[in-house]
Amino acid sequence: MRASKVEAKVKKMGRRRVHLRAPAKVNLRLEVLGRHEDGYHFLRTWIYPVSLWDELVLERTAGEVELQCDHPEVPKEDLSVKAARAFLREFGVEAGVRIYLRKRIPVGAGLGGGSSDAAATLRGMEVLFGLEVGQGKLREVARRLGADVPFFLWGEASLMGGIGDEQIKALPKLGIWLVLVFPGRPLSTAEVYRRFDARLTSSRGQNKILAELPPKRWEDFLYNALEGPAKEILPLIDDIERRLLREGAEVASMSGSGPTVFGIFRSEEEARRACERLKTPDWQVFIVKPL
């Protein structure tokens, strides 16, 4: 679409400001099936968005793409900024965007906060500039930004394949509560995968698709191939899992490449009691529901 036509459509349909929420995610199960020659890993992972959100406001400007964030650890070249620039470049929009980001998902926690912010930015840019670019084209942009970004564009619980960017099927709603514990110490995803590769082992369960969710026994379903390597770097992950179990969780596991650990609870009351007892000055603890 030529720039003049884009500008005309923006005047007719665009908005000055768009408000969005970007959810965190939890990997209930993560299998690493192999490694491509380019370094990417083939995954199969059961992912749920959860009720912990970042909040974004996108505002059209006449300048560049810029970010204002309330979290000091979020860089100015955040993934949401890269998403906005990629959208403008891909669809020929000559304009600026100011992004206001209220950060509630911990940084570097394995909860997909940066990827979710990027996906929300892509959706918001489409509304902000009054364009209907189509989900196919938007997903192409999302894949170039990061493997988790397409999942957040779908916006639904999904079994994901490929490098984590291909939806195999949607997953059902779950009537459970999760307590998330982030120990305040981010892990390097690259280092976790390097340690996984050094083990020369493959992920269990890679030759079968498990039964439909929810399972009869959560302990038979939960699995994270990256948990062992992550615990080598940060043994505290193991301590948090044990604490969650002592506080009444049915099962506990790590999400993504860590270090956030989640426990599954059957009732909100049990989850809230555990949440209160687990809070420390160093740990961030959240009670959430799968969406």
3-state secondary structure of 286: strand
pLDDT at 287 over 60: yes
pLDDT at 290 over 50: yes
Task: Tell me whether strands 177-182 and 96-102 are parallel, antiparallel or unpaired.
Answer: unpaired
**Residue 98 near residue 56 (C-beta atoms within 8 A):** no
| Position 10 confidence tier, pLDDT thresholds 50, 70, 90 | very low
Report domain extents, the chain.
3-169, 172-288
Kindly indicate whether the domain formed by 3-169 is annotated with CATH number 3.30.230.10: yes
The pLDDT tens digits for 50-90 are: 999 999 999 999 989 999 999 998 988 999 999 999 999 99
| Position 39 confidence tier, pLDDT thresholds 50, 70, 90 | confident
Read off the pTM. 0.90
- Looking at the annotation, which residues are catalytic? 25, 148
| Position 6 confidence tier, pLDDT thresholds 50, 70, 90 | very low
Contacting residues for 170 by C-beta, under 8 A, at least 6 apart = 156, 157, 158, 159
| Position 2 confidence tier, pLDDT thresholds 50, 70, 90 | very low
User: 278, 210, 211, 291: which is closest to 249 by C-alpha?
Assistant: 278
**Residue 93 near residue 62 (C-beta atoms within 8 A):** no
Kindly indicate whether the domain formed by 172-288 is annotated with CATH number 3.40.640.10: no
Q: What is the DSSP letter of 211?
A: P
Cα 101 to Cα 181: distance, rounded to the nearest angstrom = 22
pLDDT at 197 over 60: yes
| Position 200 confidence tier, pLDDT thresholds 50, 70, 90 | low
